[in-house]
């Protein structure tokens, strides 16, 4: 792999995450009628915005906390707290996003949990809740034994990447589902690629690009924090470039 500098990569990734949030917000504001809290279609629009912001962008940021060179030395607790806070905030936004879509469905007599997108999305949020609780119990509670932390750490890392991939799949399938439902009677059909379809398709590609870059950063060995028990745990972090 190319020897890429980490900090410019973080700036690029942060900008891309910001663009994802701007795109999903603009889609809901310009083409889907804006936002409300009254159970209407405008309330539904909170669902994609909160899910993309929480389950993709903030979750991706939480996953990369330990890749920051300042986190490689010194006390680990502040970085644990930051990691847990970002993940907890992402979970809170996801819960609000679910509340928005369930309120909209219930107020309009629409069945819940019948599509593949809904199954995948709810499974992702439930798995995320288990992941957060297990991580909090194993790594932040002071009475958690060292052997338990060592045993659970690779499981936590594996499911962290898995949840991000599931989040991307949920978002992309949700965008596609919304376009299929919306771009039909009274509007230009989705297959004819009106401006909204092009814009939303681009949003899906941006989400995938963001997630793939996060997964690539997580897999890069030179950006991993040295383990406390490894022989290189006291090494000086490489200079920031």
Q: What is the pLDDT of residues 136-154, one digit of tens each?
A: 999 998 888 999 999 999 9
CATH class of 7-222: mainly alpha
pLDDT averaged over the chain? 91
Q: What is the DSSP letter of 72?
A: G
pLDDT grade for 231, boundaries at 50, 70 and 90: very low
Answer whether residue 2 shows pLDDT above 80: no
% residues pLDDT > 90 (the chain): 80
pLDDT digits (tens, 9 = 90+) for 188-206: 999 999 999 999 999 999 9
Q: Rg of the chain's alpha carbons, rounded to an integer? A: 20
Q: And the tokens for 126?
A: 């439930």
Average pLDDT over residues 43-61: 98
Q: Which two three-digit tokens encode residue 234?
A: 């006291």
pLDDT band, very low/low/confident/very high, at 81 (cuts 50, 70, 90): very high
Residue 239 gets which letter from DSSP? P
Evaluate if residue 79 carries a pLDDT over 50: yes
Select the more confidently predicted residue: 241 or 86: 86
Q: What is the pLDDT of residues 87-100, one digit of tens each?
A: 999 999 999 999 99
CA distances (Å), origin 204, targets 146, 162, 168, 173: 41, 18, 9, 9
Domain coordinates in residue numbering, the chain: 7-222
Instruction: Give residue 228's pLDDT band: very low, low, confident or very high (50, 70, 90).
Output: low
Has residue 234 got a pLDDT over 50? no
Say which residue, 47 or 224, is predicted with more confidence: 47
Span 7-46, pLDDT tens digits: 899 999 999 999 999 999 999 999 999 999 998 999 999 9
pLDDT at 102 over 90: yes
The CA distances from residue 193 to 46, 187, 202, 231, in Å, are 24, 11, 12, 56
pLDDT at 229: 43
Mean pLDDT, range 72-86, rounded to an integer? 92
- Give the mean pLDDT of 2-9: 79
| 0.85 surpassed by pTM | yes
Q: Quick one: what percent of the chain has pLDDT higher than 70? A: 93
Rounded CA-CA distance 172/185 in Å is: 23
Give me 219's structure tokens.
């897999």
What are 64's two structure tokens?
Answer: 């990369």
pLDDT of residue 6: 84
């Amino acid at each position: 792999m190319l020897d890429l500098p980490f900090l410019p990569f973080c700036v690029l990734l942060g900008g891309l995450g910001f663009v994802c949030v701007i795109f999903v917000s603009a889609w809901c504001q310009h083409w889907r009628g804006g936002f409300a809290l009254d159970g209407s279609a405008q309330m539904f629009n909170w669902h994609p915005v909160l899910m993309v912001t929480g389950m993709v962008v903030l979750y991706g940021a939480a996953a990369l906390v330990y890749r920051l060179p300042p986190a490689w030395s010194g006390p680990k607790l502040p970085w644990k707290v930051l990691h847990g806070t970002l993940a907890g905030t992402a979970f809170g936004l996801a819960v609000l996003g679910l509340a928005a879509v369930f309120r909209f469905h219930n107020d309009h007599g629409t069945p819940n949990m019948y599509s593949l997108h809904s199954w995948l999305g709810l499974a992702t949020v439930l798995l995320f809740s288990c992941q957060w609780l297990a991580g909090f119990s194993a790594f932040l509670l002071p009475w958690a034994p060292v052997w338990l932390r060592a045993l659970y750490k690779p499981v936590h890392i594996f499911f962290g990447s898995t949840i991000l991939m599931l989040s991307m799949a949920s978002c992309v399938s949700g965008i596609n589902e919304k376009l299929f439902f919306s771009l039909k009677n009274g509007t230009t059909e989705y297959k004819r690629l009106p401006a909204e379809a092009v814009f939303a398709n681009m949003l899906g590609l941006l989400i995938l690009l963001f997630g793939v870059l996060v997964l690539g950063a997580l897999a890069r060995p030179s950006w991993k924090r040295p383990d406390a028990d490894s022989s290189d745990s006291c090494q000086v972090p490489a200079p920031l470039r």
